[in-house]
Amino acid sequence: MKLLIALTVCAAPAFAECPPPPDISAAQTALLSEVQAAPTQMAADLLTNELWDLWAKAPDQYAQELLDTGLERRSSFDLNGAIIAFDALVEYCPDYAEGYNQRAFIAYMRQDYDAALADLNAAIERSPNHVAALAGKALTLIGLGREAAAQLTLRDALALHPWLPERGLLKKPQGEDL
């Protein structure tokens, strides 16, 4: 299986260069506005699925194959195979935020919080309103024991998407009503 993944990852088109990521900013902003106005968790969840569809649209077919391979490997708990695919995706498409976000998730699962934080920062730099990366960053900061920074990041994420499951981790500052 590792050989198959390695062959898939190495099968990049000769001299290929990753095109720029699709511009999802207008669609993402519109969906986030709808999420903020969602009357229920279920309505927000349906919109969140649409956000994931946007984030998971890779710049080209090869990048999509790498992303899909990494996601399949992760879902079967083959974290090493997932990392191989996400490493190749980040190398091939260094401007595509989701490659970093997915690689960060694997690092988080492995409790390698420093690596996760570096990749989450890279994802957020490329896509500042990527609420999943922001929520992941908050969780990673908690894992690193950086509670104050985690709370600030969580507040940023919740300002964009008030229905995030991580909202239960938000702590009420003294003297402030939530």
Domain limits, the chain:
2-6+27-167
* Helix residue ranges, H only, 56-170: 61-75, 79-92, 97-109, 113-126, 131-143, 147-160
Q: How many CB atoms lie within 10 A of CB 157?
A: 24
Give pLDDT, residue 12: 57
pLDDT at 172: 82
Residue 11 has pLDDT above 60, yes or no: no
Q: Which residues of 129-153 are buried (b: 16+ CB within 10 A; e: fewer)?
A: bbbbbbbbbbbbbbbeebeebbbeb
Q: Could you confirm whether domain 2-6+27-167 is CATH 1.25.40.10?
A: yes
pTM of the model: 0.89
Q: Tell me what the mean pLDDT of segment 80-106 comes to.
A: 98
What is the radius of gyration, based on Cα positions, of the chain? Answer: 17
> What's the confidence (pLDDT) of residue 16?
83
- The rounded mean pLDDT for the chain is 92
